[in-house]
A = this chain, B = another copy of it.
């Protein structure tokens, strides 16, 4: 079986999960931390080399302060989880805005923790516009250097590699601004369950599906 080198994760549905349980929306984020840690563990066992989680976006920070606090706190907990599991951990996002949590500043350059057997990236205060603004440094004069690789090297998320498989929980079939450059060729798999209801079977089903995609790609 072909294992994707790099999986992107859109852990959606936390608020809908909370509402379904009669909780207030922002309570859902707390229940999204442990599934992320479990997913890291499973991906390490499988030999996945890199895992990128969609934490929160600059657009998300326009929500109520209860929600903003709750998802920021969940990202800090998730970061601690990734570090404790052993990883090469990196946080990517706009650090120049006050919405970027200070506690995560030390992780905006990649650092190795424990066995370091997987790269884990967490998008925090990320925006696709912010990301693409790195392209203002494309060389206007030298046409030959403005190739595909050049774009990958100039975007603000340049430390994050091309993504093979994106898995989105919560049933929605859209990227919602998730890493537009790294996602251009990604296979996109949607799990209808909300993220806090994560089960290892979701990952296994996604990997099985991805394996079949590669077989039908020929020619």
Contact = CB atoms under 8 A, between A and B. Distances in A.
Interface centre among A184, A187, A188 (most CB of B within 10 A): A184
A188 B173 contact: yes
A183 to B, nearest CB: 7
Contacts of A189: 173
Contacts of A172: 187, 213, 216
A39 B132 CA distance: 33
A2 interface: no
Interface string A66-104: 000000000000000000000000000000000000000
A199 interface: no
Contact of A136 (B136, B186, B188): B136
Interface in A184-200: 184-189
A181 B180 contact: yes
Interface of A: 15, 25, 128-129, 132-133, 135-140, 146-148, 151, 171-177, 180-181, 183-189, 213, 216, 219
21 contacts: A15-B219, A128-B181, A132-B135, A132-B181, A133-B135, A133-B151, A135-B136, A136-B138, A136-B146, A137-B140, A171-B216, A172-B216, A173-B188, A174-B185, A175-B183, A175-B184, A175-B185, A175-B186, A176-B184, A180-B181, A180-B183
